[in-house]
A and B are shown apart, each in its own frame.
Chain A
Amino acid sequence: MSSTIAPAWGLALRSLRNIRRLPSAFVPALMMPLVQVIAFSGTFAGITVVQGFPTDRSVNWYLPLAVTMGSSFAGLGTGFAMIRDLQSGFYDRLRMSPAGRRSLLLGPFIAAWARALIAVVLVLIVGVALGARPTSWVAIPSLIAVGLGTATLGTGWGIGLAYRFGDMRAAAIMQLTLFLGLFLTDAQTPIDVMSGWLVPVATVNPLSRVLGLARQGFIDDGASWATTIWGLATLIAVSAATAMFAMAGLRRLDD
């Protein structure tokens, strides 16, 4: 086991050091959720008066969305880094080393978790400054779970696509799909409040469950075991699927 952890930790450390050394690759990904929580809460401030909206603070609704966006894009950030490493050939060095293939995968995940936690904390600070107020103690653990979970699924999806395409096409696909996936949910308003084509889409989209978990400590009467279990189960299932996708992609590099 230590032979998996030590190399993975070394790779994660490299990735985290690059935050400071290549800020242009990290800062925009961090600014995005901050701008999002400010812009959405401000623009859609009036939406909370609609009958059935579960909070009277718009920032309470949009903060968890920004956290989810920010941490899943933190995951994709490792996918971008992977594209750079594949194109420069640096990744060949890693593949030629005797480090276990699992540690080559685990490294980016650790880095993404750290990046996601930075995003969670910053969005929380900005959100609270804008007036976000948790309604339950579960708010913080739920946000952290969603932050880590969506960072995991973002990383698996991101590096999996990077392995398959090896160039900037992967970056376009990973951003577009995750963006669509996250918006085709109850991202903007609760399913009970919306009407029309989005209702069935958001209902079946598993990411709505993830947003539900992220939000449960910020909306009135939101926290429940059902929300927690559904959210966690979805995160685990989707993360496992994308991690396997990444693993298969890494194996395909040999072909």
Chain B
Amino acid sequence: MSTLAQTRAMSQRSVLALVRQPALVIPSAVFPLFFAALGTSSFSRAVNIPGFPEVDSFLDFALAGAVVQGILFGSITSATALATDIETGFFDRLLAAPTQRTAILIGRLAGAMAYGFAQTLFFVAVLVPFGLRITTGAVGLMLMAIGGLLTALAVAALMSTMALRTGSSEAVQGSFPLLFVLLFFSSAFFPRETMSGAYRRIADWNPVSHLVEGFRSLTIGEVNATSIAQVVVLPAALAVVTITGALAALAARTRRG
């Protein structure tokens, strides 16, 4: 089998796993939507406070945070699956077969990319009936879906590195609080402009802030160099770094095996 065919087979396996076990992915989709709905009602009047961007409703503001939150949590799922493969010995069987090493990893990452892409579109589709409006239209939506795909790739590669290094699904799931902190110490749920002190400085530095703000300006602003840099270039650059790390971790593990 060619490397390409192998990669395709591995990708199919990881995508099918998501489709066949909805219980694994539903929480990572439902929670962000729940919080977006909750925020829309709770913070309806917050849109008028100084520093808040110009929006029709809090929902338009909340979409970006929800999308990134869903992708972060969803990426844990696919990395957990990889760690489980290692725990059950399926990974070793793949290594024993004449499979390309990288096909195993790329297969997993492809599953995450598909999930990130689909989830972004799904969130928009669910929220439009509740009044969500995307000012940048179809072009912006497509950019967001690509951004979702790239973000999922970057985060999944990071999580896969952890899975490959530790070989423990528990360790991967244990990273949940870290993602939670990363998300909260950013502008995912409220604008940076309304924060102050040390919290504000952390949010300024947190790449999640810039990522979310890219999605946000595509929702409530316009397509421009900044928003494209934040939604496409930033996650793509992160992905290069994390994939390099994941490949190194893969090489380390196959040497050990």
Contacts and interface: CB of A to CB of B under 8 A. Distances in A.
A and B touch in the complex (CB under 8 A): yes
Interface of A: 28, 31-32, 35, 39-40, 42-47, 49-51, 180, 183-184, 187-189, 193-199
Contacts, number: 84
Given A45-B199, A47-B46, A196-B40, 20 more contacts: A40-B184, A42-B195, A43-B184, A43-B195, A43-B199, A46-B52, A46-B190, A46-B191, A47-B49, A180-B34, A187-B42, A188-B42, A189-B42, A189-B43, A189-B45, A194-B41, A195-B41, A195-B45, A196-B41, A198-B41
10 contacts: A42-B199, A43-B184, A45-B195, A46-B190, A46-B194, A47-B46, A47-B49, A47-B194, A197-B41, A198-B38
Contacts of A194: 41-45
Given A31-B177, A188-B38, A39 B45 contact: no
A43 B212 CA distance: 14
Contacts of B195: 42-43, 45-46
B73 interface: no
Contacts of A44: 43, 189-190
B50 A49 contact: yes
A231 B189 CA distance: 30
B245 interface: no
Contact of B39 (A39, A49, A184, A188): A188
A132 B153 CA distance: 40
Contact of B185 (A31, A42, A50): A42
A196 B196 CA distance: 29
B49 A43 contact: no
A113 B39 CA distance: 32
Contacts of B43: 44, 47, 188-189, 194
Contacts of B89: none
Nearest to B52: A46
Contacts of A43: 184-185, 189-190, 195, 199
A87 B257 CA distance: 34
Instruction: Report, as a range, how many residues of chain B touch the other chain.
Output: 20 to 34
Quick one: which of A39, A42, A51, A198 has the most chain B CB within 10 A? A42
B180 interface: yes
A35 B177 contact: yes
Nearest to A52: B45
A183 B196 contact: no
B137 interface: no
A193 B38 CA distance: 13
Contacts of B196: 45
Interface of B: 34, 37-46, 48-52, 177, 180-181, 184-185, 189-191, 193-196, 199
Interface of B is mostly: helix
A192 B39 CA distance: 15
Contacts of A188: 38-39, 42-43
B148 to A, nearest CB: 22
B181 A46 contact: no
A32 B194 CA distance: 24
B177 to A, nearest CB: 7
The 10 tightest CB contacts between A and B, nearest first, are: A46-B194, A198-B41, A42-B199, A39-B184, A188-B42, A196-B41, A195-B44, A189-B42, A43-B190, A194-B42
Contacts of B52: 46
Contacts of B34: 180, 183
Contacts of A180: 34
Contacts of B194: 45-47
A188 to B, nearest CB: 4
Nearest to B23: A172
Nearest to B50: A49
Nearest to B191: A46
Nearest to A197: B41
A50 B48 contact: yes
A46 B196 CA distance: 9
Nearest to A198: B41
Contact of B181 (A35, A45, A197, A198): A35
Contact of B44 (A49, A187, A196): A196
Nearest to A36: B184
Nearest to B46: A47
B165 to A, nearest CB: 20
Contacts of B49: 46-47, 49-50
Contacts of B45: 50-51, 189, 193-195
A199 B42 CA distance: 8
B178 to A, nearest CB: 11
B41 A39 contact: no
